[in-house]
Chain A
Amino acid sequence: MNKPDNKPFDPAIKSALTALLYQLADDDFILAYRGSEWLGLAPHIEEDVAFSSISQDTMGHAAMFYQLLEDLGEGNIDSLAHGREASERKNAVLLEMVNGPGHYLSTAQYDWAFAVVRNYFYVQAKKVRMDSLKNSSYQPLADVALKVNMELYYHLLHWKTWFVQLMQAGGEARPRMEAAIKKVLGDFEGVLTLGPLGNEIAEHGLIEAEERLKQRWLFMMEPVFESVNLSVSESVFAMKNGNGRKGEHTADLDAALSTLSEVYNVDPAASW
């Protein structure tokens, strides 16, 4: 099953594959969207520029995953990104949560601690996934993973630097960071899960099993947690706000979708 060429897919494999691709694409897309709302509002100008590059890379990755879905006949990449209801979205709920109180144009009081922790923890999970996907039984996905992986070194370096520094900083930083960690872990299971078809996804060799990926994430993070004197137990991983892989979402996603598709919906058939 190397290529989506003439041979028809085993329907069971295809549904596992598309389930996985929707997760990968929707995760990156919505987090990049949240990143784009931060534009102009970061703690300092230099960081604004750096953060925006990461958001662009991440949206670029989403576009590559949507392209794989388009190639499988799921619709064109722009309708996949802009034209689907919340209930059809498979992103983790953690990634759709608002950046903080307020609107991105007027009253945004965004939480930098939440941004740092959410992005750092997610990027490490994404790195674990991409490393595993390099051996995916679906070659086009393995090819994309190899490319995406290249840009994750910078994303990890960037977020890890912020994470370690703020964890070790004085003032309000530590309590703010700990509150953000609690919030992120409360929905982090939603990032790590491969969803209702998780077993099938692993059985078909599309990616390794969820549990192995989770252990690898912990293995990568533990030295960092130790270095900042933080203990994290996987018993606190939860999906407090729902399982996005099942299409369960919050009002935050509805609001985001209506903003991000506002112009697209003026005329989805038009060329923009």
Chain B
Amino acid sequence: MSGVISYQEWTEEQKYEQFIKRIEAGEKIEADDWMPEDYRLTLIKLISMHGISEIMGALPEKEWVPKAPSLKRKLGIMAKVQDEMGHGQLLLRVAEDLMKPLGKTREDIMQDLFSGRLKFHNVFHMEAPTWGDAGLIGWLVDGAAIITQTNMLNASYGPYARALKRICAEEVFHAQHGEAIIMALAEGTDEQRAMVQDAVNRWWEALLMFFGPGDATTTGTSKQDTTIKYKIRTKTNEELRQDFFTKYIPRVLSLGLTVPDETMQFDQQQNLWVYKQPDWNKFKDIIKNNGPKSKERLGLRQTAYDTNEWVRDALNTAN
């Protein structure tokens, strides 16, 4: 770095060049550092969506918190859903700091969620009608989330990488929590086994969708190129989906469960899993808040937010 000209006198091009040099060298960008506008906007979009998905993700599992079938399971799932809220907290703080120069706060994030401008992950729009779903979410939805999140552990944006490090450490507990529920059911009565299989069948398509479309030709837009260019992530959606198959398909099968795709197989020559594509139009529709539970969960989130408004007003030091 040249100490001769003041940084403030640098041209945008020089700043951009230095920025690229820094991320190429594996340096981390911090909240107050200069960053290109599309980097900031991509991060805001990615991280606020990630954060709000954690918050919305607490809701399908929330159903099973009071209902969990033993004291141990009640405690375990409470701790797990608490973590989801905690991950939301970490991620929203990261997003909020990025939005600060744009004059936006958590209030705006919540309002964007309620208005539909801010989307959340497809999986959290789905129904979770049985205890088997509670287990499946912990096992496979969290498993999928672990795959995408570990892929960003070395993200060029320091605050996000640090939040992910905390999150992934807790995800290890989540994965085992989910496995424990699933294992008990898979080794249990016929009724319990059926509960898991139903849950796998119900969630399969949503799990495939979780990683996003293979490329922009599927759904019209894809942020994956920008995120790879800026070293926020390394692998493509499809690579992550393949990783998920490799890690989890053998486990699913080993428990005597099946996946609801008779075309699914590992192609030795291509070294790839071959599978039936989910309905990407349905995916687009779901994330536009037209999923089976989208409205109800947004309604619950908004009702809680509005009901508690007096608390925030009462302690609002700006008043």
Contacts of A39 in B (CB 8 A): 58, 62, 65, 78, 81-82, 85
Contacts of B184 in A (CB 8 A): 271-272
- A267→B191 CA distance, assembly (Å): 9
The answer to the question of B216 belonging to the interface, with a C-beta cut-off of 8 Å to chain A, is no
Establish whether residues A56 and B66, one from each chain, have CB atoms under 8 Å apart when the complex forms: no
The answer to the question of A104 belonging to the interface, with a C-beta cut-off of 8 Å to chain B, is yes
Interface residues of chain A: helix, strand, loop or mixed (majority): helix
Shortest C-beta distance, A151 to chain B (Å), equals 14
Evaluate whether A45 and B312 lie within 8 angstroms (CB atoms) in the complex, with A36-B65, A263-B69 already known.
Answer: no
Establish whether residues B66 and A45, one from each chain, have CB atoms under 8 Å apart when the complex forms: no
Contacts of B75 in A (CB 8 A): 56, 59-60, 63
Establish whether residues A36 and B74, one from each chain, have CB atoms under 8 Å apart when the complex forms: yes
Q: Tell me which of A37, A46, A264 has the highest count of chain B C-beta atoms within 10 A of its own C-beta.
A: A264
Establish whether residues A36 and B66, one from each chain, have CB atoms under 8 Å apart when the complex forms: yes
The answer to the question of B292 belonging to the interface, with a C-beta cut-off of 8 Å to chain A, is no
From A47-55, A123-131, A191-199, the one touching the partner chain is: A47-55
Establish whether residues B59 and A40, one from each chain, have CB atoms under 8 Å apart when the complex forms: yes
- A46→B247 CA distance, assembly (Å): 34
Q: How large is the interface on B (under 10, 10 to 19, 20 to 34, 35 or more residues)?
A: 35 or more
Establish whether residues A259 and B82, one from each chain, have CB atoms under 8 Å apart when the complex forms: no
Shortest C-beta distance, B298 to chain A (Å), equals 11
Instruction: Name the residue of chain A whose CB is nearest to the CB of B195.
Output: A266
Instruction: Name the residue of chain A whose CB is nearest to the CB of B84.
Output: A40
The answer to the question of A171 belonging to the interface, with a C-beta cut-off of 8 Å to chain B, is yes
Contacts of B85 in A (CB 8 A): 39-40, 45, 48-49, 52
Closest 4 CB pairs of A and B: A173-B314, A169-B314, A52-B82, A272-B69
B residues with a Cβ closer than 8 A to A are 55, 58-59, 62-71, 73-75, 78-79, 81-82, 85-86, 88-89, 92, 131, 181, 184-185, 187-189, 191-192, 296, 299-300, 303-304, 307-308, 310-315, 319
Besides A48-B85, A173-B310, A272-B181, 11 other A-B contacts (C-beta < 8 A) = A37-B66, A39-B82, A52-B85, A102-B303, A108-B300, A171-B319, A256-B66, A263-B64, A263-B69, A266-B191, A267-B191
